[in-house]
Structure 1
């Protein structure tokens, strides 16, 4: 996989109701900033499900996939705080994927986001071309911000402590970002109609907050 592509760490999880308040506090007060400070990371964003999927989603964009093999990233795992270890252990059926960002159409960040899981049959190059074409069609819709395909890297997508490895599939993910819930619903419906059996399940998320590494005080 092309290590010069932008990278994306995709982490989706559920969490028990009794642990949810502390889990959110940890994510907001420690984890997002901690990851945004890692060399090579561009941004860290949190989302909450409004329909389907895991309850919480974290997206961490990097300058390239090389950020996930850097000494700085490895060091981040070597100095996990007790708070981090506790909350990583609270994740229920988490999903961790380290992906190349391909087939990008548009720019910016939307406040609403849909994630469609692609079926495994499509060849990667053909799928990227198809998703780029789909993105150009979606771009004509009001409220469209950006769409892109996340292609997991097999070697880098190591599972989280409580992630099941039985039947684990590293499937490509189509992400659609829009500026409103209505625009997201419309774009998702169009994408599903165009993809047909090419997509499996879909989930919709609202942005909680986003931090760019350049905003951090060093």
Structure 2
């Protein structure tokens, strides 16, 4: 994905009472399709946690620009959720919703089914992009990404009122994709990235839209 593109990163758990079959059907048959039909949304991925401190489910959407995430068409969808979405929102727990600008995206797209994610609200350290470039050179690592929260386009979601507990957000999100969790962990530690990652396994990836497809 191009640097300075937009990125919406969502992490959530679901309530024990939630029917997981209904949750999966809603995501795949309703929610993903609704979001990808929004002008400027180009790609979506869903992951499930293998281990680590963050929420069980990770979903992110790539957009042509960060401004897509505060555009009128997208805000209309948030203000007028489908009936299925409105019903599912009450089951969301420990929800985070981070609107970001892509600061770094390097490596082989789609080459690894594993993902290590680190998210925080600390001030970004000097040299972080150089550290991640060095991580990419290590065995078992296929792609590195750095997403930074973008306050200029971050607006509250009308859907937040449907979710118990409200939404958190993160200022810095590091994503390392690869083929082997132990190698990814070793590569991070070797370059001084000591934050505890959460490892996720890919469960869905949409086809990527071209810019031509985005043009009316």
The TM-score normalised by the length of structure 2 is 0.82
Deviations 1:109-156 (A, max 9, x none): 231111012461435xx3xxx232122222223342211111112351
What is the CA–CA distance in structure 2 between the aligned matches of 1:101 and 1:108, rounded to whole Å? 14
Indicate conservation of the 8 Å contact 1:98/1:152, yes or no.
yes
Deviations 1:142-195 (A, max 9, x none): 3422111111123516363336469x56330110111x2x2x331233213433
Deviations 1:27-61 (A, max 9, x none): 11111111111111110111000002211110101
- Residues 107/135 of structure 1: CA separation in 2 closer, same or farther (3 Å cut): same
- Residues 90/29 of structure 1: CA separation in 2 closer, same or farther (3 Å cut): same
1:38 is aligned to 38
| Partner secondary structure for residue 144 of structure 2 | strand
Which runs of no fewer than 5 residues in structure 1 stay unpaired? none
Q: Say what the alpha-carbon RMSD is for the aligned residues.
A: 2.6
2:17 is aligned to 18
Task: Return the offset for 1:196.
Answer: 4.8
Indicate conservation of the 8 Å contact 1:45/1:211, yes or no.
yes
| Partner secondary structure for residue 212 of structure 1 | coil
What is the CA–CA distance in structure 1 between the aligned matches of 2:27 and 2:104, rounded to whole Å? 29
What is the CA–CA distance in structure 1 between the aligned matches of 2:148 and 2:164, rounded to whole Å? 19
What is the CA–CA distance in structure 2 between the aligned matches of 1:62 and 1:212, rounded to whole Å? 13
2:106 is aligned to 105
- 1:190-201 aligned at under 5 Å gives the runs 190-196=187-193, 199=195, 201=196
Indicate conservation of the 8 Å contact 2:139/2:183, yes or no.
no
2:130 is aligned to 133
Match of 1:122 among 117, 121, 124: 124
What is the CA–CA distance in structure 2 between the aligned matches of 1:39 and 1:214, rounded to whole Å? 11
Indicate conservation of the 8 Å contact 1:149/1:172, yes or no.
yes
| Partner secondary structure for residue 8 of structure 1 | strand
Which of structure 1's runs of 4+ aligned residues deviate more than 4 A?
163-166
1:207 is aligned to 202
The TM-score normalised by the length of structure 1 is 0.81
Indicate conservation of the 8 Å contact 1:13/1:94, yes or no.
yes
Which runs of no fewer than 5 residues in structure 2 stay unpaired? none
2:144 is aligned to 147
How many residues align structurally? 203
Indicate conservation of the 8 Å contact 1:105/1:132, yes or no.
no
What is the CA–CA distance in structure 2 between the aligned matches of 1:156 and 1:143, rounded to whole Å? 34
| Partner secondary structure for residue 192 of structure 2 | helix
